[in-house]
Amino acid sequence: MLFTSAAFAFLFLPITVAGFFLLPQKWRPWGASWLFVASLFFYGYWMPSYVVLLLVSIVWNYLAGMRIAAAGGRTPGGRFWLILGVTVDLLLLAYFKYAAFLVNSVAAVSGLDLGPVQITLPIGISFFTFTQIAFLADAYQKGTREYAFSHYGLFVTYFPHLIAGPVLHHAQMMPQFRDASTYRLNTGNLVGGLAIFALGLFKKVVLADGVAPYADGVFNAVHHGATPDLVEAWMGALAYTFQLYFDFSGYSDMAIGLSWMLNIRLPYNFDSPYKALSISDFWRRWHMSLSNFLRDYLYIPLGGNRKGPTRRYVNLFITMLLGGLWHGAAWTFVVWGGLHGLYLAIDHAFSALMARIAPRWTRHVIYRLAAWALTFLSVVVAWVFFRAESFTSAFRILHAMTGHLPAADQPHTILWNDGLAVATGVLWCAVLGALAFLGPNSNRIGERTLALVRERAGLRALLAGAVTTAAILLVLINETRDSLSAFIYFNF
């Protein structure tokens, strides 16, 4: 079920919110149980055949976590259950997400005809697997435990985050599920959350889906053998850069807004990443929950920066390489992750050098502008591999971006064949670039909106009417399209 669909906005959401606040008036535990069941329905509406898989995963990790807690953190028994629990999780993920990739890779290298391998990827499996691995690791390292199965099940399946994150930590959610005030209607939170939901809806339906034809048109045509010219290559790369940002950050805003409506706070997942002045800064701003997970559960266990700069660079590269593979079972994702690992190693080495020989330069406006431009360009280049369906397609686009391809007899053929105007594409990229580089941060907008509706009761009705009308119009606009566009990160 998509957040942008009429079924979600007009049926699922109002029924879920009403039940969440009405049922606890009879018995408080019903609130969490209701939301758990509603979240399972939300998942099953999209993939009913995999609800059992999700439940089995939840039960297994809940029992493994309880065994770790019973054995005691950092004990041999606890370590055994941690290893067993994580191994089962990773095997499950490996089968559904990577089995076909591995078989096809072996067939390509060996020349063997192993036949087609087709396994349907359960939506959100990467997110609910990582969420539960973090729970098991915290149970072992920090003594984390959760005895209420309804709370644990809700922690994993909580519908705003289930499909595309953010990756949640046990400590962020369980105290909220235990807090009695969570189950009491707060009109300030309800209206503020609705406003942020509408903002995310606008990002997705208007901005991301609006520029998508330029990204899809170029990348799809190149995948089928077309050769882009300089303008088309840059337009495709930039269009996808902005499409992905507004699509994913729009989803995150919608998830945060939905949670505010339920008196639940999700961690922020974006913080204006295209304003970053370095790759390190970019990863502090982009998909922050995944960045934190990779840091806490992969980079630091590998040794982090504790064993000298060389080992640090190797650890960064390995972490990002695996982070790329987490996104998808394709070598293009591995290269994307490897590029960011290389970027991070160079960034740390260069930052250390500048701090030693010319620390004042880093505060100069020209240095900062150059740092921003180089960071953004590096990110765009990596996104080409992230979006391309093959190395051939990626290199063809990158080659065209350098201007080395011969001039075509008919310029902009790819865009012309799709009925896309170059001037309109340039305008889209310019507007979205201005919003991404100079626009206000949606996190700050949300906090300010929430503060206003809490302080000024008279503003709530006015804002509620405005954002409800806007949300309804956006959903109806989306429903008139030939097909509903899923969020990009649903594929991961």
> Which tokens is 487 given?
């969020």
CB-CB neighbours of 356 under 10 Å: 8
Hey, what long-range contacts does 266-270 have (CB within 8 A, 24 or more apart)? Answer: 266/160, 266/161, 266/166, 266/168, 266/172, 267/166, 267/168, 267/172, 268/166, 268/443, 269/165, 269/166, 270/245, 270/442, 270/443
> Which tokens is 116 given?
């087609």
Instruction: Identify whether 327 is a catalytic site residue.
Output: yes
d(CA 446, CA 377): 29
CA atoms within 13 A on the CB side of 19: 16
Amino acid (one-letter) located at 241: T
Concatenating the DSSP letter of every residue in 41-85 gives: HHHHHH-GGGHHHHHHHHHHHHHHHHHHHHH-TTSHHHHHHHHHH
Alpha helices in 364-484 (DSSP H): 365-387, 391-401, 413-417, 422-438, 442-455, 457-479
Read off φ and ψ for residue 94, nearest 5 degrees: -60, -40
Q: From the CA atom positions of the chain, what is the Rg in Å?
A: 24
d(CA 322, CA 333): 9
178, 57 in Cβ contact below 8 A? no
299, 315 in Cβ contact below 8 A? yes
Catalytic residue selected from 151, 161, 169, 327: 327
Catalytic residues: 327
